[in-house]
Amino acid sequence: MNIDKLVLAIAGLLILLSVALALTVSNGWLWLTGVVGFMMLQSAFTGFCPMALILKSLGVEPGNAFK
């Protein structure tokens, strides 16, 4: 799996997890959904993605979006 697919998978997992936690524990977990959404939006315009940098430093194969 390359960086592009992992970034999308991790973002989706975090969104689903935060929504589940908001429904079962506290609405305070919705901030995580907002942060992930904001980071996805800003990376679309700037090309900067902290998760992609972390995965790159771990030696994951780069994809087309995050080289």
Tens digit of pLDDT for each residue in 16-66?
999 999 999 999 999 999 999 999 999 999 989 999 999 999 999 998 887
- Domain spans, the chain: 3-57
Residue 65's pLDDT is what? 84
- Residue 2 class from Cβ within 10 Å (0-12 exposed, 13-18 middle, 19+ buried)? middle
CA 17 to chain centre: 12
Q: How far apart are CA 2 and CA 62, in angstroms?
A: 5
Residue 13's pLDDT is what? 97
**59 conformational bin, left if phi > 0, alpha if psi -120 to 50, beta if neither:** left
